[in-house]
Structure formats: C-alpha cells, structure tokens
Structure 1
Amino acid sequence: MRRHRIVQDTSAALRFYSRLPIPVSADDADPFAAPSLRRIAYAVPVAGAVIGAIGGVILLVGHALALPPLVSVALAVTALVLVTGALHEDGLADTADGFGGGASRLRRLEIMRDSRIGTYGACALMLSLLLRVALLQALLVSAGAVRTALALVAAAALSRAAGLLLLEFLPPARTDGASAAAGQPGPDAAGKAGLMGALLAAVAVVPSLGVAATLAGLGATLGGLFVMTRLSRRMIGGQTGDVAGATQQVTEIAFLLAVLMFARVS
C-alpha cells in the first residue's frame, strides 16, 4: 500500500513538473488537476531527479558519440527544457519582467500574468541558459561525463525542493493561479521535501565530487532560496508559481557553480 502511494505521488509530481507521458492510475479521480503539495512534497525532488537523469543520459550519449563538450551539454539542457515544457524558464521570464518592470505590487503581478515576454524576461532566459551550459561544460571538461551527469541529477532534485520551500515560506501573493490552486505544502511536508532533496544531492555528489562540493552546493542553494524569498516578499508580498519556477532556475545555477568551484577532481 505504501509503495503504491509513493508511485502515485511521484507520478503526480512528474505530471505537474514535466510533460512526460506518465500513465494514469485508475485510482486518480482527476489526474491532471493541480496536485496537493502537502501530499506530494516529498516526491517533488524525486521527480526532479528523474528529469535531471534524462538530461544526464543525453549528456552521456553525446559524450560517448565524441561530440564536443559544448554540444553535449547544450543537448542535455535542451532535453531538460523539452521535458519540462519550459515550465521553470517561463516562471523565470515572467518573474524577471514583473520584478524589473513593475512600479507597484499590483503592476508587478499584472505583468507576471501577461504571456508576452519583455526585455527583462528575455535577458533572464538567455543568461540562465548560457550559465547552465557554461557550468556544465566546465564540469564536463574538468570532471568527466559521469560526474557531470550526477551533478545535473543532484541540481535538478535539490532546486525543485528549493522552489517548493519558497511556496511554504511565503503566503500566496494572489488568490488564484497555479500556486494558490496547489496550496502550500505545510511545514512537515516542506521539511521532508528539503531533506529528500539534500539526500538525493548527497548520494549523487559525495561519492563522485566530494563532501566539500556537496556542502558548497547545499549552501549555495540555501543562499539562492534566501535571496529569492526576500526579493519576492519585497516585490509582491508573497509567492506565485512563477517565482517558484524562477527559484528553481536560480538555485540550480547556484548549485552547479558551487560544485564546480569545490569539486574534487582527480
């Protein structure tokens, strides 16, 4: 029974965070509705690890085919964008446009809801993609393909836990939207998500890149989460799904940067 629930919750998390064709269980009354974050919080980092593993496999295949490092990591990042339907990238762009272009809280929220992308959003997207590709390329050259793929899995798991923690730390900034529909996870569920994300990151990174890189990555992720929490509180008085997506992007970059700086390479 417990195993069945874990499979159900992980499937729900993957349906919410990706566009993978996850089979629907007969027990799911409305499988495509916004899931209860209170229930699936612990499974969110697991879903992130699965998504990251897809990018990692593409990176390994590219390396095995003797593609240049830049091409291999660019294909891996492309795979991540396609698998998630650019969910987090969309949140980053909307957040950058709203925080950068709005003069008041209501105006920022209005801009964030607009589907059109502005200058701030375009620049944020470009820089996010550029930084992820550059960091993964540097890791691939210095640490090898397997270690880089494991770092990508860890970053994907931990950064999605960070995005969920932001939803717990701040109240919803509006009464409708994806984050309001999903609800806040609650302290216990958010704590389980954070612990699961940290555990998955440690399992992936400690044996391959060392304890120092793992601790640095965890610290950088917490730092990114802290900055995004403070910024979102100041700008819109709470959180939205867009800010959670932006937090995932920011913390993934922070984690990869810290791991690159402190990686044990022999």
Structure 2
Amino acid sequence: MTTARTAPDGTWLITPPWDGRLEAALRAEPDVALLDLEDSVLPRDKDTARAAALAQLRAVPVHGATALGLRVNAPGTVHGLKDLVAVADAALHDTVVLVPKVESARELDLVAQVLQETSTGVCICALIETPRALLRLDDIFASPVLGGVVFGAADYAAATGCRRTSSSLWWARSSIAAVAAANGIPSIDSPYLDLGDPEGLRRDAQEARDLGFTGKGAVHPDQLPLIRSAFLPTDEEVAQAHAVVTAADRAGGQMVRAGRQLVGPPLVVAARAVLDGAGDHTKPSVHGGIQ
C-alpha cells in the first residue's frame, strides 16, 4: 500500500446514485463526480443504491478530466461495511472513495486494508464533520493513505448545536484548511445547500477560497460556474501579482516596493501562485492511491 497524498482540487459535484445522474453530472464537467450512498439514500434503499452506483461507475468508459467518486456510508455501520465489501468486489480503479464521519487515522487505514487487494489507484478522502474530528485533525491527517479532506458543515453544525452561518463555522473551516495545507493535502469545503440563493453561494465560495480551501462541493450542476469563478483570481489580483513578480525579479530577490506595497519573499510566492492559478486551465486527476 503506497502513500496517497493528492486528490483533485476544484469542484466536487455530489449526486444521488440513481440511473442517469452520473451522466448528467459528467456533462457539467466537475473535477470530481461523486455518487452518494449516505445522506441522499434512505435506509431501505441502501442495497439498491449501492448496486446502481457500482454499475454506473463500472459502465462509464471515458469521462475526460473528471474523476469519479463514491461516498460510502460510515465504516462503523452495517451499510458502510457492505459498501466497502462491494467496492472491493467491484475492483474499482482510479476512484475517489469519500469516507464519512472520520474521527481517527485508524478508520482510514482499515478502509485502505479492505480495498488494497482488489482496487488500484483508489484515492481515500475523509469527510470531517464532527467535533471530535476537529480535535483530532493532526492524527487524521497523519494517515499515509489520506488523499484529501472534505468539510461537512451540516453534520458539524447539528453535532455542535451551532447555527450554519459564516461566522459560526470560521474556526472549523479555518482549522481544516490550515492543517490540510500543512500536510500538503487538498481541502474541499462543504456544499452550499440553498439552490435558490446564487449570491449566497458566491459569497460562501469566495470565503472558502479566502480561508484556504482548494475546492468546494456542489449539489447541483448549476452551482459549478459560480464556484469555479470564485476560485479563480480576479483581474485585479492577476494585475497585482504581475506587478509584484516583476518588481521582485528586477530587484534580484531583495525587498522591494511595488506600488504602495512592500514586497518580500512570502508575497512573491503568493503572487506566483496567483499567476499559476490564472493560467492553469487543466483539471487535476487522481494521483497516488492504493496500488
């Protein structure tokens, strides 16, 4: 089992596993199209949903730059165990497996052990959505099989009793994004669930980017353009980054002034990252995983 450290950044479109949903998701060209076996499926429909999801994942021959994924049920539940066995039996390849309710690295290790014999290139990601998980981020992120993390705002708010507002989630979101960055792991912010509030989605996605998340979840294809736009540098940011890099290059790496701003090495690194983001129109793929 090799170390998995990279999952796709960008847009993660989460959809129920019923027939036709995956094809519709792929037409929207998210960075990850994730079929959901957990929250969007009633307990009585879990077995049917599992079979439908795996059939769709096996049947898709070409899906361009979009990575395919599956959100299983929590491994500590009966349906979670059934999901993992079914995924192992299906011998899926190059698939993102999102594990909910993760609270320890041991849970991720167990998932990897189940899948490693039959699945190759599987990228295991953790859904961080409980207070206990927030207190154990260092342990969870230390797992060598972890390829990325997703924040689950709705479950976190329900578990803590906090409101699902911007300010009430700052600490949780900032903590996840910061620890992910420290470990070189992509971090995906929780979806915005109000489909009738595009301006709210825009603000929420912009805040996710400001906090350091590398992508954001979506629950409808119509949300993807706004999320993509929020994660791209603005024209003003690109112009400022060009000015910073040009001034720094001319100064030979010394501290220099660009407009009203004093520019040192950290700002130059940030400016180059802005320019890289502005000029990168390719979509990432899953790297690493279980071999």
TM-score normalised over the length of structure 1: 0.27
Identify, as 1 or 2, the structure richer in strand.
2
Look at both structures and tell me which one has the larger radius of gyration over its CA atoms: 2
TM-score normalised over the length of structure 2: 0.25
